[in-house]
């Protein structure tokens, strides 16, 4: 198949980034071009674009290139997501055996949450269960609210200033002031509760998971259909949920 101009540009850009990733340190332009196997003129143009996008860093003093902070951020997020999904397995299974309802693990992607691991319920659900890769709105899910609540204050405020509180059910919080109060309560209590806010037949609780730097990187969730599990029963599992979330955080290097 003949490569389109867009695919050709992408292929060459990846070659430059890949060359930088293999290097033991920052690279001079001539060495980078040689390593990537690209013409100098093409490399100049592509590197300028990559620098503007934060994928490549250029030091004016040394005249050398290195990987940009954006690449580091992507790598860190990817590693955390994969790592926490693996680390969480035992605790998720233990919690699942105790409550006999679905236990799931989610990470935040902007104003969405993405499920990266989930157990099956031991009982008939009659509703769609969370599957790995499923994406939902953060503002009306227990996992989303708890991850937002534990963000750094400046980051959270920036999100709240621009958040779209789309209504999914009659129970969805759509008032910005009320939503901000909800996040404050969640941070104070250490867990979140969502009652039919995105799906009318579902309620859930979630607890945050932190990494070795104290950043919230995921959330552990128990959810169940409203026709089988009332709010009192669900909230009665809060301590077990928090214990499992704490164990996972500690395995990720977190110390309170």
Please tell me the predicted confidence (pLDDT) of residue 59. Answer: 94
Task: Please state whether the predicted TM-score (pTM) of the whole model is above 0.75.
Answer: no
- Tell me which fold the domain 76-251 belongs to: Beta-Lactamase (3.30.450)
Under 8 Å between Cβ of 224 and 234: yes
Please give the helix or strand (H or E) that residue 43 lies within, else none: helix 40-52
CA dist., res. 139 & res. 151, Å (int): 13
pLDDT tens, 219-252? 999 989 998 889 999 999 999 999 999 999 999 9
Please tell me the predicted confidence (pLDDT) of residue 43. Answer: 92
Please tell me the predicted confidence (pLDDT) of residue 2. Answer: 47
- 3-state SS assignment for residue 69: helix
CATH class in words for 5-67: mainly alpha
How far, rounded to the nearest angstrom, does the alpha carbon of residue 235 sit from its chain's CA centroid? 25
Angle at 155 between CA 167 and CA 55, to 5 degrees: 110
Nearest of 81, 109, 102 to residue 199 by alpha carbon:
102
Angstrom CA distances, 76 to 40, 102, 227, stand at 31, 28, 40
Residues of the chain with pLDDT under 70: 1-6, 76, 79-82, 121-131
Please tell me the predicted confidence (pLDDT) of residue 123. Answer: 57
Domain with CATH 1.10.10.10 in the chain: 5-67
β-bridge mates for residue 57, sequence order: 66
Number of alpha carbons in the 13 Å side-chain half-sphere of residue 11: 9
Please tell me the predicted confidence (pLDDT) of residue 130. Answer: 62
Identify each DSSP E strand in 96-160 by its residue range.
102-109, 112-118, 135-137
Domain with CATH 3.30.450.40 in the chain: 76-251
Angstrom CA distances, 65 to 24, 42, 68, 71, 182, stand at 12, 16, 9, 13, 45
């Amino acid at each position: 198949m003949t490569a389109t101009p867009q695919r050709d540009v992408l292929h060459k850009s990846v070659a430059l980034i890949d060359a930088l990733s293999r290097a033991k340190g920052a690279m001079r332009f001539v060495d980078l071009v040689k390593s990537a196997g690209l013409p100098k003129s093409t490399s100049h143009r592509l590197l300028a674009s990559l620098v503007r996008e934060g994928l490549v860093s250029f030091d004016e003093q040394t005249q050398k290139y290195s990987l940009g902070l954006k690449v580091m951020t992507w790598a860190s997020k990817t590693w955390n997501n994969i790592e926490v999904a693996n680390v969480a397995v035992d605790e998720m299974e233990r919690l699942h055996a105790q409550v006999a309802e679905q236990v799931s693990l989610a990470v935040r992607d902007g104003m969405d949450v993405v499920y990266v691991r989930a157990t099956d319920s031991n009982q008939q659900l009659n509703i769609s269960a969370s599957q790995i890769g499923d994406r939902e709105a953060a503002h009306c899910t227990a996992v989303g609210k708890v991850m937002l609540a534990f963000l750094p204050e400046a980051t959270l405020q920036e999100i709240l200033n621009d958040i779209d509180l789309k209504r999914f059910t009659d129970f969805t919080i759509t008032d910005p002031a009320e939503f901000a109060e909800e996040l404050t309560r969640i941070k104070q209590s250490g867990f979140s509760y969502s009652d039919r806010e995105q799906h009318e037949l579902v309620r859930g609780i979630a607890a945050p998971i932190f990494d070795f730097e104290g950043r919230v990187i995921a959330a552990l969730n128990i959810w169940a259909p409203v026709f089988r599990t009332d709010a009192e029963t669900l909230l009665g599992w809060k301590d077990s949920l928090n214990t499992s979330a704490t164990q996972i955080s500690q395995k990720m290097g977190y110390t309170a």
